[in-house]
Every structure is written in C-alpha cells, then in structure tokens.
Amino acid sequence: MLHGLTGWHLLIVLAVILLLFGAAKLPALAKSVGQSARVFKGEMKAMKSEEQSDVASPSPVAAASPLAASDVGDPASTR
C-alpha cells in the first residue's frame, strides 16, 4: 500500500497539514480523530456481536410465512 513512501514524504505531508490547520488546531484535530476511531471500533464490535447472535439463533419471522402454501393460488384469500 505505501511501497514508495519514505520518511521525507511523511515530513512533507505533516508540513502541509501544519500549514493548512495551524499549530493551535492540531491537538483538537488529533483528539477528534481519536474519538472518531474509538466510536467506529465500538460500532464494529457491536455489529460483529449482533451478527454472531443472529447466526446462533435464527429469527422466527423467517420461518413463519404470512401466506400459507394453499393461499397462494386462491383468489378469495386476497379479498
């Protein structure tokens, strides 16, 4: 992914960020990025645990069909 990047590239990127945002805003920016990463990580854990619980216990709604097999062709059942 970062095959051709060296330490000089990183220094140039950091200098551009410093020029764009200013030295005073960098700590707040870093804190915001850290909080966002923490929230994202928590949401991913919640999704994985929810997915695992769904696999362990299939939903009863999928097993119960609103239409019975005999009602499919019966025009009286749609009235």
pLDDT at 78 over 60: no
Do 71 and 77 form a contact (C-beta atoms < 8 A)?
Answer: yes
Taking only the tens place, the pLDDT of each residue in 23-63 is 888 888 889 999 999 999 999 999 999 888 877 766 555 55
Please give the Cα distance from 68 to 66 (Å, whole number): 7
Q: How confident is the model at residue 73 (pLDDT cuts 50, 70, 90)?
A: low
Q: Name the phi and psi angles at 67, rounded to 5.
A: -115, 130
Q: Is the confidence at residue 13, as pLDDT, over 80? A: yes
